[in-house]
Amino acid sequence: MQYPYSERMSRIRSSVIRELLKITEQPEVISMAGGLPADELFPVEEIKRAADAVLSGDNAPASLQYGPTEGYLPLRQQITLIMNDKGVACSPGEVQISSGSQQALDLLARVFLDRGDVVLVENPTYLGAIQAFELFQPKFVAVATDEEGMLPEALEQAIIINRPKIIYLVPTFQNPTGRTMSLERRKRVAGIIERQQVLVIEDDPYSDLRFEGEDLPLLKSLVPDWVVYLGTFSKTAVPGFRLGWIVADEELIGKLSICKQGADLHTNTLVQHVLSRYLNDADIPGHIKKIRNEYGRRRNAMVEALEREFPSGVTWSRPQGGMFLWVQLPAGLDTESLMSKALLEKIAFVPGHSFFVNGGGQNTMRLNFSNSSPDLIEEGIRRLARLVNIQQGKDSSPRNRMESIIKG
């Protein structure tokens, strides 16, 4: 069978991460690859209670019926309160429910991107965003970053040269690097956005997962007119509900809604009712605090293991929140070939290369610390360090050194 595929299919690739996840599903693999929250922390009991209340109530049939494309109004009202707490004033008419943030990216691409339009992204950037945008065949331009995010001069230059349709940013605990734009950087970037009048997508799945340091203002709160904000319940409640939201002005929300009609009519009604009930009845701040504490412990376990096990010449980020840590091996080492050896050792990570839209990053990798216990993280980093040491040509792993000391 020779299918008459569309031209774009020749360019669209599967996400390395989604493919990796299939391999790493085997329980004996220590996976630092995926971006999965810790499912032992899921509020199962509270969700069950909420589901039971919804399905026992007078509104049960409505929770199973077709619903409005914009989303369930009470949930949109609750989201305006969440946004208010984050320093963003908005009305329910400025909130669109999406089937996860992934769909939000897809809807924004529909509304804005023609073939050849420029999208500015961080270097490296989130793979799911590349996948969503790629459908419409834009041109990606990567802006140089340092530990604090996009470099302001590089950003402004890139805007002037490329006149991008949109800038895509994950300002807080970025995927893949775990990096966060500092307050000063946010202000400078906000100034550039306002001056250059470019639309920004602020993708913000991780800022609630801060276990250290002070909250920083959202870009949306600094330049509200130029920023479309994306939020999600995937990291603070449960990802399986596929519930995210978009905050923008009513005109843009209207356009996104029309596109959503064609995409999936509307997001699952039942889980919108259940989540709304859960937000109402459960101790949300208490639950988020529990996640933060545990992720903080896991980040510590990973950083300590890296310090203990890894040879000099390897560097890593030390994020104050989120789920990822970014490792840079000495130039010349290749994390893709490392990965095939890692799978034999029953460990997994994501090679960094695929996060770079213009190539590069062969010596980088993304490590997830949210989905394994501190013990497993330690064991995983130990095995990984052994592989890195071997790959470096000199087997100087601590155990071997120890053995030679003992033998010596």
Q: Is residue 56 near a second copy by the rule CB under 8 A?
A: yes
Q: Which of 87, 116, 213, 240 binds a second copy (CB under 8 A)?
A: 240
Question: Toward a second copy, which CB reaches closer, 110 or 353?
Answer: 110
Q: Is 70 helix (H, G, I), strand (E, B) or coil?
A: coil
Among the listed ranges 78-86, 99-107, 143-151, 348-356, the one in contact with a second copy (CB under 8 A) is: 99-107
Question: Any idea which residue has 């595929």 for tokens?
Answer: 5
Q: Residue 172: which of 212, 139, 128, 143 has the closest Cα?
A: 212
The CA distance from 323 to 366, in Å, is: 10
From the CB of 181, what's the least distance to a second copy, in Å? 24
Among the listed ranges 36-44, 75-83, 287-295, 330-338, the one in contact with a second copy (CB under 8 A) is: 36-44
Chain-centroid distance of CA 81 in Å reads 23
Task: Build a one-symbol-per-residue string for 376-405: x at contacts with a second copy by CB under 8 A, - elsewhere.
Answer: ------------------------------
Residues 6+ apart with CB under 8 A from 323: 35, 37, 173, 175, 178, 206, 209, 235, 295, 368, 369, 370, 371
From the CB of 108, what's the least distance to a second copy, in Å? 10
Question: Toward a second copy, which CB reaches closer, 106 or 148?
Answer: 106
From the CB of 83, what's the least distance to a second copy, in Å? 19
118-177 residues in contact with a second copy (CB under 8 A) are 128, 131-132, 134-136, 165
352-371 residues in contact with a second copy (CB under 8 A) are none
Residues 6+ apart with CB under 8 A from 235: 37, 205, 206, 208, 209, 291, 323
State the CB neighbour count (10 A cutoff) for residue 19: 11
Q: Residue 179: which of 296, 325, 298, 34 has the closest Cα?
A: 325
Q: Is residue 10 near a second copy by the rule CB under 8 A?
A: no
Residues 6+ apart with CB under 8 A from 157: none
Question: Toward a second copy, which CB reaches closer, 252 or 384?
Answer: 252
User: CA-CA distances (angstroms) from residue 116 to 74, 112, 165, 352?
Assistant: 39, 12, 10, 25
249-288 residues in contact with a second copy (CB under 8 A) are 249, 251-252, 255, 257-259, 261-271
Residues binding a second copy: what is the number (CB under 8 A)? 82
Q: Is residue 58 near a second copy by the rule CB under 8 A?
A: no
Q: Is residue 96 near a second copy by the rule CB under 8 A?
A: no
From the CB of 215, what's the least distance to a second copy, in Å? 26
Q: Is 240 helix (H, G, I), strand (E, B) or coil?
A: helix
* Tokens linked to 192: 């550039």
From the CB of 350, what's the least distance to a second copy, in Å? 15
Q: Is residue 68 near a second copy by the rule CB under 8 A?
A: yes
